[in-house]
Structure 1
Amino acid sequence: MKRDDLRIAREAKARFGPQLLAHPDVEGVGVGRRRRSGDKTDEYAVVVHLRQKRPESYVSPARLLPKELRFTEKSGRDVAVRVDVQQHAKPVPETGRVRPVPGGVSVGTVGTHVGSGTLGGWVWDTVTRQVVALSNAHVFGSRLGVSIVQPSSDDGGVPPDDRIAAVLRTGSLDAAIAEPADVSIVSASIVQGGPAVFEIAEAALDMRVQKTGRATGLTFGIVDLIDFDSDYRGSHSDLWIDAEGGDFSLGGDSGALYLLASGNAARAAEKRQVVGLHWGGSGQDGVGHHIRAVFDDLKLSTLPRGINAPAVDAAVDPA
């Protein structure tokens, strides 16, 4: 791939982007590497996201997208850039109001000095025998009964309309749980992570993980250290995550869950194993508690087996 090819692709997107985005089926337009059978090639292209990609024979001629974009540069040279059509849903800001509420979205407390953070996901409290929200103690705070709003107040959330839960319990680690205001708002999933939290696993060195956080959205990293000790909140056995391709976390990602990453897009709907709870960062890298330590500390368990619908039935006990 040549730098000049990228420049030309970016110019094509600048010229034709508004026209492509006006197409009724198009959700987004960008510049990237062209894919062939799902694999990236060495050819730059203008990438067009459709809400649903269909064979050409099923699309009326008036709605067909161009296969390439041609234009004349200022130098007088005629150039052409391929159009790569891919199927993707329209992106949704994770700081916005989401109902039912999945993990990976913006949350915060009301009427305290606790800042905004991320709802990691919904888990099972073995003490009160109900579904509860899991995040950091420095996100939810330690005052029992304090309201949790989604999105956070920093992102426009206001009570009582955006109240989703109330702080129930904190532990010795940087972790806390909150009971839902109504079980109907619970979504047994994590944004861009699939169904959760149904399984947990031990983190291992060189394991590839992902997280969805309020600040950075979906990011990936590699478990670089286990048993990491910075004497934080009494934990002497944390996880250090090396960033992969940019910032793994930024302020506001606190509370996100680390999931075992899958390299196969076809497995996106499968139940992912959770391995950690993010609490902080250093440069581009992240640090979090082992999820098993969090579960032991707060007496938590995974969600009941057989729950696949967006809403979790709190009356069902885990087997």
Structure 2
Amino acid sequence: MKILVTGGAGYIGSHMVKLLVEKGYDVLTFDNLSNGYEWAVVNRKLIVGDLLNYKLLEEVLLDYKPHAVMHFAAKVSVPESVEKPLLYYENNFCGTLNLLQAMKRSNIKLLIFSSTAAVYGIPKEVPVKEHSPTHPISPYGWSKLFSEQAIKDFSKAEGIKYGILRYFNVAGADPEGKIGQVSKNPTHLILRALKTAKGELPHLEVYGTDYPTPDGTCIRDYIHVMDLCQAHLDVLNYLMNGGESEVFNVGYGRGYSVLEVIEAVKKVTGVDFKVVTAQRRAGDPPEIVADPSKLKQLVGWKPVYDDLHYIIKTAWDWERSCDKLCI
């Protein structure tokens, strides 16, 4: 079975490609390498291209003729989206529209879409269910919600099947140490904490300590990247076996505060690095935790890496080795 993975040279996409290749799928990656790396594509089947280049995208789909598309390609920084909203609407939303149009032209009927818990904004209930109100508080969240709606409308008109996966906080690295997260300007808490422990950053900023949470810092649901990728594969199999198009939350259903994560990073690394308090960032909800019961019950997803310290350990092992591997 052929799978086209957009954004397959990036953090999550590259782990997805690795899993698919290990399971025997024929995988082609389409990535502009703006936040991805050629070495991260384990099977080396890569087309360097941008979703905004419709002509190239259509040519690739018509030539490769994939049975399904897994769509990861997107810009994902909430703070950057607040500063550059049009960039996010163009890249994330317009790029998705181009992909849908190319799928129509190529008669591709299966799509797995990488969405985000940011579509919920500040949730009224925690843990969050898929039917919870969606009202993003950042352009990043809106760009993903607009894309979701376009996919749903396109599905009704063209008869495609889709799985929309709303991620919570993805972290960790390939347990085998072959690939992991690399960022020129990291914004994710665990990666920034590890780089601080490693000595690459002078200190770690905690953005806001006055949230309405037990210790005043934001609470998030952290999921290991390989459990997330397995969820994509499980949803693909569910759709191929006759399942209906659905939206799924992907998380563990358990939240950790920023300060709890920092303490866990210090324990795993053995480094007592400097932490400083900074102002809140725009677009950060106080608490967001997934209710993944729909994914487990309907699709049969069974996470295997649900342990914050293990998530951090795999990320730390990768962080210490990637200087010589990431050439």
TM-score after normalising by structure 1: 0.24
Higher relative contact order (CA 8 A, sep 6+): 2
More strand by share: 1
| Higher gyration radius (CA) | 1
